Amino acid sequence: MSAETVTISSLGAKGDGIAHGSDGPVFVPFSLPGETVSIARVKNEGTIMSIASPSPDRVQPPCKHFGPDGVGGICGGCSLQHMAKTAYNAFKRQVLIDALKSKGIEAPVGEIFEAHPHQRRRLVFTARRRGDGLVMGFMQAETHHVVPVEECPIASDGLISRLDAIKIIANACGAEHFRITVTETTTGLDISLDGLRGGLGDQARRAVTNAVIKLKGIARVSANGEIVIEPQKPLLDFAGARVVLPPGGFTQATREAEDHMAALAIAHIGKAKKVADLFSGIGTFALRLARSSAVHAVESDEKAVKSLDFAARNTQGLKPLTVERRDLFRRPLMTSEFKAFDAVVFDPPRAGAEAQCAELAKSQVKKIVAVSCNPLTLARDLAILTAGGYRIDQVTPIDQFLWSPHVEAVATLSKK
């Protein structure tokens, strides 16, 4: 380890400051462009020891778990709390622009849809038992240390106000080291305990059940995907359609971002008669689109498919909505199958939808909406579609992972 003073020239895609030296770039977390900082350096990574010349964009972090003097490093949940709002928004938008440019794409990129504190409805905690009891919190960056969490400005009030109740349930399961996924639903908290070695024994099951009975506002607790107790079905509302969230199931991190992404998709598709919703999950887009269009939803996860199908059959006022279980990575919809559709929406995992886009690019579908949580794979997929004759009308960056380097995006395309 060596000590030196460097000047930060830019931010990398992960939010780390980058200084350029004679032996190449040095990555310095929690620094900002224009700052002169003293660092302890190991190879090409630096840890801030002091800030000689702070950036005017440096602000006081709102959370005590972020780190002393805004340098970060305590809680691994956030990496950009020290950055002023205007600069932060510009950075996230630029991450998307740079990803598109890396594939030779020049497209209109809109202003970012901002995330705000206390909107996050889903958190994943790590729990570890030690001599003085159970510790529940977030993993400190680059370590195996669990930081106990007493506050969290990104989390909804409905989540953070129930930290004590969540910890009581986690403690009751008796496990040594596991994950806790908590989602705020319209009927209460959905708590999923995962990574439990050997599952949940009879004694632990009784302890968890008794704890939930005594507490209020808990919709369900599951362990390794198996329901332990379910006082109420954990429900999400998609424009009036009530969907049961499967144990450990995926949903968008904030309701506000979800609503905005859906509105962008609906506006672009317009009066399309039949829409394919690919990688549909539990129906985030499909159930909203079915208010005005017939929809065919395709998803590989069996539990998600069942939840979507049940919601569709029990929601009034929808156009026909069919559901198909299909692995679109191994068996994408073929070009010939797209003849039935006027529009397509796809929202794949971080790996993107390369194989599916290769087929879609050869189709005559008029409108496409591409949703992605990974700008790099989105850029690759858009390059495939534009090579097939599609025009990118707009790309909108969506921030629902506040104070992290991650950025979501919605791209709308039309056949030339």
How far is residue 221's CA from residue 163's CA, in Å, rounded to a whole number? 15
Residue 386 phi, psi (nearest 5) = -70, -35
CA-atom Rg of the chain in angstroms: 23
* Catalytic-labelled residue, pool 78, 152, 357, 373: 373
Q: Is 279 annotated as a binding residue?
A: yes
3-state SS, residue 42 = strand
**Bridge partners for 334 per DSSP:** none
Q: Is 393 annotated as a binding residue?
A: no
How far is residue 324's CA from residue 307's CA, in Å, rounded to a whole number? 12
How many C-alpha atoms does 19 have within 13 Å on its Cβ side? Answer: 28
Q: Is 347 annotated as a binding residue?
A: yes
Place of tokens 């778990």: 65
- Burial label for 212, CB within 10 Å (0-12, 13-18, 19+), is buried
Q: Under a CB-based contact definition with an 8 Å cutoff, are residues 189 and 217 in contact?
A: yes
CB atoms within 10 A of CB 70: 18
Long-range contacts for 129-135 (Cβ within 8 Å, ≥24 apart)?
129/175, 129/176, 129/177, 133/171, 134/167, 134/170, 134/171
User: Active site includes 357?
Assistant: no
How many C-alpha atoms does 117 have within 13 Å on its Cβ side? Answer: 10
Angle between helix 375-387 and helix 85-101 axes, rounded to 10 deg: 40
Contacts of 91 (CB under 8 A, 6+ apart): 11, 15, 80, 83
Task: Mark the binding-site residues for S-adenosyl-L-methionine, compressed into ranges.
Answer: 252, 279, 299, 347
Catalytic residues: 373
Task: Mark the binding-site residues, compressed into ranges.
Answer: 252, 279, 299, 347
